[in-house]
Chain A
Amino acid sequence: SQQGEEDPQALSIQEGENATMNCSYKTSINNLQWYRQNSGRGLVHLILIRSNEREKHSGRLRVTLDTSKKSSSLLITASRAADTASYFCATEEETSGSRLTFGEGTQLTVNP
């Protein structure tokens, strides 16, 4: 079953703008991970944030985690056409061992 729910389902922006995607989940987690997937391809790991962390940065990516609200956000700054992809959040639940539970994803389109 899908634990994470991404919002919005689809987002279309102009190059240079920032893109924000949100993820909500239901259970206690060890960590939350964000992945990118280009059409029909495998998933690329972007960033992992542990349950005791509140914010993490990697290049143009900023991830926040609010465990009290069971939510996370991914911010991509200064977007580029090459950022066009589907973005998924995935949670490693406390009781799950190390399997990941993915949301349904946000389809991001960056228009040149």
Chain B
Amino acid sequence: DTGVSQDPRHKITKRGQNVTFRCDPISEHNRLYWYRQTLGQGPEFLTYFQNEAQLEKSRLLSDRFSAERPKGSFSTLEIQRTEQGDSAMYLCASSLRGLEQYFGPGTRLTVT
């Protein structure tokens, strides 16, 4: 499969725990994006990378959230001290030179 992959697909965690998600973009794509989607809403932008540089962060990305793309390939999104309001689908997308964005299947996070 040469599409965007995300791991895990589902994560259930207790409030206060830390979680980390991984995204593997399409191999030749230099841009990688993270979005969050809650039920009945469209995705909301969180952050994006061009190669290993994090170029933009949304105000939605509180200091409990951190994203990395250390070698310009895969990326991780970590949420520290999770809260129930963090429950959502976390979507990763990649693109080449900022054109069409191709999305992965998402990681569904449930915070209990």
Contacts and interface: CB of A to CB of B under 8 A. Distances in A.
Contacts of A98: 31, 33, 48, 95, 98
Per CB-CB distance, the 3 closest pairs between chain A and chain B, nearest first, are A102-B42, A98-B98, A43-B103
Interface of A: 2, 4, 33, 35, 40-45, 48, 88, 90, 92, 97-105
Given A35-B103, A98-B31, 16 more contacts: A33-B101, A42-B4, A42-B104, A44-B103, A45-B102, A45-B103, A48-B100, A97-B55, A97-B98, A98-B95, A98-B98, A100-B35, A101-B45, A102-B44, A104-B42, A105-B41
A61 B64 CA distance: 41
B55 to A, nearest CB: 6
B25 interface: no
